[in-house]
């Protein structure tokens, strides 16, 4: 039996599943969502569904599929229903929740652009949400709202808003709440700026441009949830057997979720009433605090530990965190060193450690597997954005760079040591096994390994502004401690090296 609206009454016996009430299918459309991927369904549509279940938001989402990959047939067959399985652990206790999500009213292929524009005349649709990947919010000056559909997401959005403006004759209350969730800083501000360039290029009326900028609320936002997506085939089939129905749209995710939305507009807050359904949604005047916590404690710790984890012989984060020595190292890195570094007037040490503790729980989740080697892809650029500011902040506050961070840089330099080159690709060797180095700066690091050794090598790497946009070798004893850990990793291995880390105590 296939998961669908008509089959729901016969599926209610599935164990532990939270099914939607039939009345949800009569709820009006309130959201236009650009994106049908597993992440946006696993977080944004989860929140909408949860709010509807609680009788709070009482609205559904129209999804726009813009990519060429896949089709919308599975959505049509299943009346847009899908199962979401959420699994995590808390202090060794398994947490699992399974829901049938009914947040989606319909899915429109962007090729049917007239159907998309028809939504612009619906007064009930007041929210636009996008999740078009980081490259979705880009300016394409060759694009046009006259195309059916426009090529880029910004041009699609401008086309929709222009249709909205005409449908309601430019009244102020016809504006939209626009929330991009793409993982770039100031996503809404950048999107708004692009729309203004496109509108000027199209010579759109001054009245529309005024309405665009003053009647619509563009809200920067930050999202966070691990949504691996579809289960492996054998697990998918086993889960269908357990549930007693077929579901081609079934996804899995962790239970943790965060959505920070930046606005001070009281009307916007009222429109986003689904925020009351979950403590993971934060509507605040400024989301910089949430961005800093996530970027440093989660993303920064990822890239300060991926080379360590890989060179220590662990294939996955799950495997590494099951090892008590590695777990203690991550506690030191996250809740001691990074937490102390990012303390500011906006972030207390309690804020940092509370978020850091959640990060550690997520790393320990046995149901989510991340391959260390995959995290190491383009590690140089990620370290520059995510970890170098941690080094700066820590040194500025305390006058030194702490040991777990030094170990992270030591492992990075060791990881980037290419031992062989095949067809232009560089490979390192760890524990006798060859691995591919996928990094735009692999060539530069290879040159440094051939040109320098010892402290000169470390200083050359840390001091190269082409890598970090600044000279990191000027931080007192940073290069010396990085070399110390490099030598010990090579001579004594991971476990003996970790014993040498100074568990620095902070007066915070």
| pTM of the predicted model as reported, rounded to 2 decimal places | 0.90
| Averaged pLDDT, 425-435 | 95
pLDDT over threshold 60, residue 369: yes
> Which of 249, 284, 319 is the last residue in one of the domains?
284
pLDDT at residue 15, rounded to an integer:
81
Residues 242 and 329 in one domain: no
What lies within 8 Å, CB to CB, of 234 at 6+ separation is none
Residues 300 and 229 in one domain: no
Provide the 3-class DSSP secondary structure of residue 94: strand
Residues 280 and 292 in one domain: no
Residues 266 and 379 in one domain: no
Residues 224 and 293 in one domain: no
pLDDT at residue 321, rounded to an integer:
96
What are the tens digits of pLDDT across the range 166-187?
999 999 999 999 999 998 999 9
pLDDT over threshold 80, residue 472: yes
Domain carrying residue 39:
8-284
> Which of 259, 284, 309 is the last residue in one of the domains?
284
Angstrom distance (rounded) from CA 100 to CA 158: 33
Residues 41 and 113 in one domain: yes
Chain centre to alpha carbon of residue 55 = 28
Residue 505 lies in a domain: no
Where b means 16+ CB within 10 Å and e means fewer, 279-308 reads ebbbbeeebbbbbbbbbbbbbbbbbbbbbb
C-alpha pair distances (Å), 412 with each of 157, 304, 442, 489:
41, 8, 11, 12
DSSP-derived secondary structure for 258-299: EEEEE---HHHHHHTGGGGG-TTEEEES--HHHHHHIIIIII
Residues 293 and 274 in one domain: no
Residue 486 lies in a domain: yes
pLDDT at residue 13, rounded to an integer:
73
Residues 52 and 115 in one domain: yes
What are the tens digits of pLDDT across the range 8-33?
999 977 788 999 999 999 999 999 99
| Averaged pLDDT, 49-76 | 92
pLDDT over threshold 70, residue 455: yes
Helix (H) or strand (E) holding 425: strand 425-430
Give me the helices (H) in 36-152, please: 38-42, 44-53, 73-77, 113-118
Residue 477 lies in a domain: yes
Helix (H) or strand (E) holding 223: strand 221-224
Give the CA count within 13 Å in the CB-facing half-sphere of 99. Answer: 21
29 bridge partner residues: 60
What are the tens digits of pLDDT across the range 349-367?
999 999 999 999 999 999 9
pLDDT at residue 135, rounded to an integer:
78
Residues 382 and 251 in one domain: no
Residue 189 lies in a domain: yes
pLDDT over threshold 90, residue 92: no
Q: Structurally, how many domains does the chain consist of?
A: 2
What are the tens digits of pLDDT across the range 260-269?
999 999 999 9
pLDDT at residue 67, rounded to an integer:
76
Q: Using CB atoms within 10 Å of the CB of residue 102, give its burial: 0 to 12 exposed, 13 to 18 middle, 19+ buried.
A: buried
Task: State the CB neighbour count (10 A cutoff) for residue 245.
Answer: 21
pLDDT over threshold 70, residue 294: yes
C-alpha pair distances (Å), 103 with each of 83, 99, 271, 455:
11, 11, 16, 57
Angstrom distance (rounded) from CA 183 to CA 180: 9
pLDDT over threshold 90, residue 508: no
Please state, for a pLDDT cut of 90, what percent of the chain lies above it: 91
Residue 244 lies in a domain: yes
């Amino acid at each position: 039996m296939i998961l669908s609206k008509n089959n729901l009454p016969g599926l209610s016996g599935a164990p532990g599943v939270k099914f939607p009430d039939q009345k949800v299918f009569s709820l009006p459309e309130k959201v236009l969502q650009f994106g049908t991927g597993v992440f946006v369904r696993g977080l944004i549509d989860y929140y909408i569904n949860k709010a509807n279940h609680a009788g709070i938001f009482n609205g559904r989402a129209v999804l726009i599929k813009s990519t060429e990959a896949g089709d919308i047939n599975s959505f049509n067959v299943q009346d847009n229903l899908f199962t979401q399985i959420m699994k995590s652990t808390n202090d060794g206790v398994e947490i699992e929740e399974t829901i049938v999500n009914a947040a989606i009213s319909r899915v429109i292929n962007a090729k049917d652009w007239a159907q998309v524009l028809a939504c612009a005349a619906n007064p009930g649709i007041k929210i636009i949400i996008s999740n078009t990947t980081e490259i979705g919010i880009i300016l394409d000056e060759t694009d046009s709202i006259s195309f059916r559909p426009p090529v880029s997401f910004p041009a699609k959005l401008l086309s929709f808003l222009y249709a909205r403006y005409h449908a309601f004759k430019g009244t102020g209350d016809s504006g939209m709440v626009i929330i991009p969730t793409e993982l770039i800083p100031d996503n809404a501000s950048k999107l708004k700026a692009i729309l203004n360039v496109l509108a000027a290029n199209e010579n759109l009326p001054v009245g529309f441009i005024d309405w665009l900028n003053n009647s619509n609320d563009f809200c920067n936002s930050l999202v966070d949830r691990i949504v691996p997506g579809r289960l492996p085939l054998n697990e998918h089939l086993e889960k269908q057997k357990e549930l007693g129905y077929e579901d081609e749209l079934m996804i899995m995710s962790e239970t943790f979720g965060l959505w920070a939305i930046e606005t001070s507009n009281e009307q916007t807050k009222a429109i986003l009433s689904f925020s009351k359904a979950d403590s993971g949604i934060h509507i605040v005047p400024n989301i910089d605090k949430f961005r800093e916590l996530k970027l440093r404690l989660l993303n920064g710790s990822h890239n300060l530990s991926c080379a360590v984890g890989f060179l220590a012989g662990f294939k996955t984060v799950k495997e590494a965190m099951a090892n008590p020595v590695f777990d203690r190292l991550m506690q030191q890195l996250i809740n001691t060193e990074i937490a102390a570094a990012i303390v500011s007037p906006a972030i207390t040490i309690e804020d940092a450690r509370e978020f850091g503790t959640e990060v550690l729980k997520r790393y320990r989740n046995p149901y989510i597997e991340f391959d260390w080697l995959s995290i190491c892809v383009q590690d140089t650029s990620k370290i520059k954005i995510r970890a170098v500011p941690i080094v700066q902040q820590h040194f500025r506050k305390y006058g030194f760079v702490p040991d777990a961070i030094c170990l992270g840089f030591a492992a990075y330099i060791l990881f980037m040591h290419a031992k062989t080159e095949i067809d232009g690709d560089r490979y390192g060797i760890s524990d006798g096994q060859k691995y591919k180095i996928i990094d735009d700066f692999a060539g530069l690091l290879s040159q440094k390994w051939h040109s320098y050794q010892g402290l000169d090598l470390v200083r050359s790497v840390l001091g190269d502004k082409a890598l970090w946009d600044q000279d990191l070798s000027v931080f007192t004893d940073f290069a010396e401690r990085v070399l110390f850990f490099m030598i010990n990793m090579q001579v004594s291995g991971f476990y003996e090296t970790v014993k040498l880390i100074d568990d620095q105590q902070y007066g915070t």
